[in-house]
Structures are given as structure tokens and as C-alpha cells.
Structure 1
């Protein structure tokens, strides 16, 4: 790899004057680096390179799987004929086999694009036979608007020819002398990947929906709460464009999770903001949760349809296909409604007002403040988690075999709030201990979520069957297959209900109670004196829609 200032044509001229060469035609190609929005491949230590000769219309396209842990070595190649997006769009092959478990349901997106000019030279012997091949590669990044950016440093490749391997070393030595080559100029396949991303301002691994706050235990609670809410807002905004263009279902999922976490933070980090502010934004984000729900429900059904189909006897599986067609028929309608909501003045105003609030300086120290605003975030976190834990235990212990489903639903909401609080404040506690308790909470939530979601899905399927029958979209066989599916779900719900007692008993075990008490015990004398004010104590109720409540 040469310095950025080196002109590739000068390299060709220098080589031509040093060696007996023949010049090949310059070859133009396109190189793209692909990954998901959340960098699934990069985080798995891989990069996906797409190489195309000539124009985009050319069907000579090759996917290359690069192992970044091995200097970007190409470990698999596969020819394709269409734009790669989802795994299902690719033909069977070695790259698809590596890609499927890493990419999952996400779409491949172009992260960087290069226009490459390759100048080829053939070193000839006295008989004009080719003994060594030399390639000089000039790469120029292309930005999102299609503009060519400053060229990357030129790269030189020297390739042996079978039968003339001894000529390779002599050629390298002569080029080292004429071009000033040295070991520091060696480049790896991974280098081009890194340069291409940097040239268009991409930072691998820059997006994650996971919470990773680093809070100061003595930080004022209002400042820490805003730090948490700003991070959630960043996640929400990062997913708007992908949701509008329906690039894949995870954009909407992450947007909804960020919305639900925002509502939970507003409701559960109590007494740090004025009540009127909390009520205003809780209502705004509740609206956002509502308008994004129907599209998410369709996503969940269509994503899970293969599993629903497989849960039926083989003789009934094809009879379920009209349901898939009916769901797909409503998809475009719901996407249009979703876009209208996200492009509405109401959503624009919510975003602008929320951003202004988050960027607003906290109240001066002499001004009246909500009662918990000046307390340390650690003390607020401790008391909030203790309070929610007591509610979870109280509600869970009250549930018997005769309890109605609504009581399990209420417990699920409380448990979800507890989980969110622990995730918000994870950095305030020893990592192993807090993560272990979060895991216990998730296990309980998985059980409660299965119980409730199976009921919601069964009700939704029954409702869909009625609509399909009224529209003439389902014959008797299809209605019977839906009925069988509903029965399967209700049977599974019964099993989830039976498993609840053991699941909650484990969560409420003496060992877990001791771990919670040790981690979230009150520490006397650590708080600043509260400032008198009217407390805000909204009753948080972050709602859950089908399928994404337990994926947050």
C-alpha cells in the first residue's frame, strides 16, 4: 500500500521502465461492504464483501466472507445474481451458510462502496512468456449521494505464475528498489475494509439497542435520569428512517422498545421531574406506542408463521396458507398508516419538545425542585428497585391456582418495570451480581410473557378467522386449521400457567431474596437533603404488544 499522494499511473510507468512488461486493459469494478444496521457480522468478527465487475447491471457478482480475526482472509466465496438483502434472497452456498446464523432476520445494508480501477501488468521473459502478474488497484469511495470522494492509497499485488515461481522473488526485489517498497507498506484485506468505512464516516459497532450507561453513584438523580432518557431517544431516532422505509422488522421493534423504556423511566424514576412534564410526555409516548402496535403485530405473525405452520399436523399445514396471504394483504395498509403517524405533525412536535426538554439545563441549586431531583441517583435507584421488588413479591405470592389471568398480567407489568429499573442502573452495582438478578427477572418474565402472549395470539387468530370468513377469504379447511392452531396455543398456555408456581418460587427463593437485599439495601446518610416540592408519582403502565414485550 502506497501513500495517499502516490499517483497509480506513476507506479505503472515506474514498473514499465524497470521490468520487461506487457500492459493489460484496465478493469473497473465495484466493491461494497455489507452488514446489518446493528453490525451483526462485524461483531461476529467477519465482513461481507460484494465484488461486481463493470456496471451494476453486470450479473458477475461475487460475495466474499472475510475473517477479520485472520487479517481479513477470504474464507468463503459465492456467486449471486441479485442484490443481497435477506438471507432468504441468497441461493444456497458457502456464504449463505455462514451468514444465516449471524444475520438472522436483519437485512444486509451497504455500509461502504468503492469504485476500483485495476491496472494489470504482465512481467515477460526473453520469450515473451508471462512469468509474474502485477496488479495496481486504485480505490475511490462513493458517498450516499453517489459522489466520488478522495481516493484511498493505491495497492499493489504481485502474483506468481505456475511454473515460474522462482521469478517472483527476483521481481519483488527489483520493485523494492525501484518503488521503494518495504515491509511497512504491506496491507491486508481487512485494511481496505477499514479504510472504506472510515472514508464515509462509518464506525463499526456504533449502534446497539442494548443499555450501556455509566452512571456516577453520587450524580444528581435528575441529571442521571436525563442521561438515561437521552440514550433511549438516540436509539428511538436511529430507528425512524429504517422503520419508515420498512427495511426490516427490527427497526420498528427497537423503536418500540426504546419507547416503552422511555415510558417506564418517566414513570418509575420517581420525583425527579415536575409532574406536569412527566404527564405530558407519558401521554405523547403512549400515543407512539399505540400507533406502532398494529404493524408490529403483523410483523410478529409473519415472522413466526413458519413455526405456526409446523405446529400443525402435516395434513393441515397447507390449509393455513390463506391466513398468511390475508395477513400480507393487510401489511401495506398498516405500513401506510405507520408512515403517516411517523411523518405527522404530532410526532414531529413530540420529538422537538422532548429533545428540548432533554437538552434543557437542570434547575439551579436555589430553585425549588422535585423531591428526588437532588438526591444521589444511587439512593433513588436503591429505593425504586426495593419498592418495585416488594410489589412483585406481593403480587406473585398472592397468585393461586384459582387466580384469574388478569393477576398474572399485572404481575408481568410489575416485573417488567423491575427489570427496566435494574437495567437502567446496572452500572451502579457489581456487574456479576446485578446481571444474575436481571437474569432471574427475565426467566420469570419469559414465563409470564408466554402465558399472556399465547392468550393474545389465540384471541387475535379467532378474530382474524371471523374477518376472513366474512370477507370470503377462508374456506372450511382454513378455518379448521386456524381452530387447531388456537387449540395448540391454549394448550401451551395451560402448560405455561402450570409452570408459573415453580418459576416464581425460584425467583422468590431465600437465596434470591438475600441477593436482592444485599445489593439494594438502604444506605443511611448518603443523600443530599431533599428540596421540598410537589412530588410526581405517576402510575406507570408501559403497555406491551404482541411479541416484542419480552424481547426488549
Structure 2
């Protein structure tokens, strides 16, 4: 029975030439021509592949026959747990989006993980591989040694990564395998399995997997001053805005702009909902400026939504009408380029640059003199008050909606639900995790229903306006206009379906258990704190009034 292959590893910076020289001096062997290739490790900007325990390795051949059967370029799905390739795909060009890949198992595996994000290079490694055949006195091969030298591809500092050696047996030569293993143990460190090269390369390149996520994860001290905690939250959102500017300008993928806009929207919500911690004049100024950012980034995002969803829009029409939508796609794409240029100009404008500078100076500066009354409140007390009041607003607005209510009332409820969701996400760490995740999830379900109702109406109206503009410019024939009319009808049917589903969706949110949980987390806790904080008696009186009001509902 043949032994298992053995792996060895030199410490980072170890010299593979010295190892090869030692092997040549000690063993009868034949060194095969070396092969070189380039490895690029790819992931999305927000590390979606790393999040599922994987990485993509793009291999571009240099000299010799590796990697794999002489292909000049291929893509490998790497399982980080075992540092092995599960899927491989031959490529003609650098990979970008999942849909750009040829059909096959790797694309099918990648698409649901990557979504609409682009693959980006996270680290690049130059690999040099040497194969050695160990020979006996009859010049027969009795063992094989594979040596691999990896260096970070950096013209300034090409750091040498850990050299890797693997000893492979040849059937019938067990003693020779053991003798070769003893020699290699004097040169390199045996390892049960070699370190994961992609992780070593990322560390050498100064990259930290998972260093960006658009999800909120603030760890707040319940006793922290409200103004200090609010600054901490807003600084995190500012970091997100700034992190996504370059990708938005370069239009790498649609999620850069999406994350930027969400961070702006959360900033505006925090300024409006975490009341009494900053002076009114500062709040009014920055709210107005961030409203401008939301406005100038809106057109590109609207077109992103249309173009990303275009395959689904085509699919909802009868097959005979689908080709007539090509003119609409061309129109949207042309206008997209124009709007993207305007967006780039806005992000490079003095107004935008000044806003981000002034906002950071404000948030990182010393705490305000003569601060508003709410600034010194413990953040937990303020969070209790704001979340409870916003929940009551959502509950009241939702209960007032019936089958005859105008669309504007559902729109107002959606805005209130967003404010409630953002408040709970800002302050999630102050409360039991399981309970908060439950309440946030149920609020999102309600928001999804309200969002479909409003967004479909807005999209239908926008499509009508686009049809008028295309007709006026002679950019749409009768077939295109009919197809667009079919889309409008489909959207309005979806809107009405969402409207019919609202009552049941809201009822699932407005359950007795949910109301009890909101009361226990935010009202009872707030009342107990207020009783022990005489200097905030006004807040206690307000909470007591809320308790009386809530008991009667």
C-alpha cells in the first residue's frame, strides 16, 4: 500500500533555491523544466465569497505547461477550509460579473453568491513551480517532489510567501519515499496540510477579509452620552459613504451607488429621529445637504433598477412582444451614460467635497458647548423613547388604513416604517439580540410590501413618461409602445396585488405578542430608567403618558 503524499512548508521568506540545491546535492534526481504562472484572487468588494468560505483564483499561464492542460487562463473555485479547487472554468478574458462567465458548474455556483456584484482583484501572486523526479541507481523514478515558490506581485515590494513542497510516492518504492521524506524534514517543516495560500497572500497585501460590509454593527455602551453615541453612528455611516465613492465614480457595479445612497438615507434618518442631541441649526444644514446628495444620485440608481431587472421585465411579456423592448433597453442605456457623467461631476463638485469635510469635522470635533438637553442623556434612555414613539406611530398609521385609504397614507406609513427600522438597527446592540432580530425582520416584511406597492406605481408612471419621450423623439415604433404598455399594465397589477396583501401583512406585524415585545423592550425599560434619573424627569413623564396611552389601545 502506497503512503499518503507529505506536505512541507518553509517559513515565509524561505529560499526555494537553497532547498533545490540541497536536493540536488543529496539525491540522484532529474529536475524538470519549471513552469510559471500568475494567480489573482478575486472576491466582491464586500467579500461575499469569503463569507461562504470560498475564494476565486484566476490563473494565467506564463512559461511551461502549468496550470492545467495548457490552458492560458482558467478560473478556480477554492474551498478555503481545505485550500482545494472544487470547480474550474477555462476563460477567454478577465472575469467580471457572474453572467460574463461561460455556462457551466462554476457559473451556476457563483451566480447566487455574487449577485450583481463585480469580481475584483484582492491579491496577486506570481508562482514558480519546479518538479523533481527522484531516481534510483537504475534511473527509475522512485518519488516525486513538487516545489512551489510564491511571491506577492508587487513592483515595489514583491514579498516572498511561504514556499511549499509536496512529496508524492511512486508505487513499489516505499523505502525510497521514506528516505526522501527524512531528507525533506531536515530542510522544511512537515505540515498536516499547507496554509491557505489565498489567506497568506491577502495578509501580505494588507487586505483583511470582511473589512467592508454595508450592514450596521455598532457596539454601544448603554450609559454613553447620547451625543457621543450618535456621533459614533454617524461617523460609521460617513465611512461607508466615503468608501463607496470611488466605486460609484468608476461604475464598477451598481452596489457601490446603492450602498452610498443607503448610508446617506440612514444619515438623514438619524439626524431627523435622534432628536435633541445636536443644535437645530446644524441639523437643518446637514439634512438639507444630504437631501441634495440623495437627489443627485437618484437618476442613476433608478436606471440601475430598470436595467438590472430588464430580463425579468422581458419575461413578464408574451414571447411575441419581448423583442420590441430592445429599443427601450437601448434608450435606458444611452440615458444611463449621460446620468452617470452627471453623477461623477456631482461627486467631484466643491459642494460635495465641502459637505463631507465639514461633516467629518463636525462629528470628530469636541462635544458641543451649551449642548441641547438630550445630548447628555444616556443613549439607552434616548433609544427607548425614540423607538417606542416611532412604533406607536407605525401602529397608529397602519391601523387607520382600510380598503378605501388613499395611496398617500401607505406612502407615509412606509416612511415611518423606515424610520423605525433604522432606529432599531442603530441601537440593536443595546437590546437582546434575538428579540431585536425578530422585530427588525418583521418590520422589513412590512416594508417589503409597502415598497412593492409604491415602487411599482412609481415605475409605471416613469415608464409612461419614458414612452412619451421616446415617441416624441421617434425612438419607439408601435411595437415598442405596445410592449411598454404591457409592462405598465403588469406593474399596476403587481401594485394592486401588494395593496390587497397589505392588511394581512400589517396584521402579522401588529400582533399582540409583537406589541408586548415592543412594550417590554422600549417602554418598560425606559420607564424604569426614568424613575432612577430625576434630572430627566420630563422624559419620565413623557414615557408615563405613553404607557397610559398604550394601555388603552
**TM-score calculated relative to the size of structure 1:** 0.90
**Map of 2:6 onto structure 1:** none
- Please, which runs of 5 or more residues in structure 2 have no aligned partner? 1-8, 64-69, 539-553
Residue pair 1:443, 1:503 contacting (<8 A) in 2 also:
yes
Query: Per the alignment, in what secondary structure is the counterpart of residue 180 of structure 1?
Result: helix
Deviates more, 1:503-512 or 1:124-133: 124-133
Aligned residues: 520
Q: In 1, distance between residues paired with 2:192 and 2:504? A: 61
Residue pair 2:71, 2:90 contacting (<8 A) in 1 also:
no
Using CA pairs under 8 Å that are at least 6 residues apart, name the structure with larger relative contact order, 1 or 2.
Answer: 1
Which of residues 140, 158, 161 is equivalent to 1:149?
Answer: 158
- Please, which runs of 5 or more residues in structure 1 have no aligned partner? 533-552
| TM-fit CA distance, 1:526 | 4.3
| TM-fit CA distance, 1:32 | 1.0
The alignment yields a C-alpha RMSD, in angstroms, of 1.9
**Map of 1:106 onto structure 2:** 117
Residue pair 2:445, 2:505 contacting (<8 A) in 1 also:
yes
Cα deviation digits, residues 178-200 of structure 1 (max 9, x gap): 65156654543x52111100001
1:242 to 2:247 alignment: yes
1:439 to 2:447 alignment: no
Q: In 1, distance between residues paired with 2:391 and 2:406? A: 22
| TM-fit CA distance, 1:527 | 4.2
Query: Per the alignment, in what secondary structure is the counterpart of residue 343 of structure 2?
Result: helix
Cα deviation digits, residues 134-192 of structure 1 (max 9, x gap): 2221111124xx434221121112234xxx3233662353343365156654543x521
1:36 to 2:44 alignment: yes
1:92 to 2:100 alignment: no
**TM-score calculated relative to the size of structure 2:** 0.90
| TM-fit CA distance, 1:18 | 1.3
| TM-fit CA distance, 1:307 | 0.8
Which of residues 464, 467, 475 is equivalent to 2:466?
Answer: 464
**Map of 1:61 onto structure 2:** 73
Q: In 2, distance between residues paired with 1:314 and 1:421? A: 45
| TM-fit CA distance, 1:311 | 0.9
**Map of 1:510 onto structure 2:** 512
1:72 to 2:83 alignment: yes
Query: Per the alignment, in what secondary structure is the counterpart of residue 85 of structure 1?
Result: coil
**Map of 2:457 onto structure 1:** 455
Residue pair 2:142, 2:177 contacting (<8 A) in 1 also:
no
Q: In 1, distance between residues paired with 2:175 and 2:93? A: 41
Q: Structure 1 residues 15 and 186 mapped into 2: Cα distance closer, same or farther (>3 Å)?
A: farther
Q: Structure 1 residues 232 and 177 mapped into 2: Cα distance closer, same or farther (>3 Å)?
A: same
1:395 to 2:407 alignment: no
**Map of 1:372 onto structure 2:** 374
1:51 to 2:62 alignment: no
Q: In 2, distance between residues paired with 1:445 and 1:6? A: 56
Q: In 1, distance between residues paired with 2:370 and 2:191? A: 63
**Map of 1:124 onto structure 2:** 135
Query: Per the alignment, in what secondary structure is the counterpart of residue 28 of structure 1?
Result: strand
Query: Per the alignment, in what secondary structure is the counterpart of residue 218 of structure 2?
Result: coil
Q: In 2, distance between residues paired with 1:172 and 1:109? A: 44
Which of residues 420, 426, 430 is equivalent to 1:424?
Answer: 426
**Map of 1:545 onto structure 2:** none
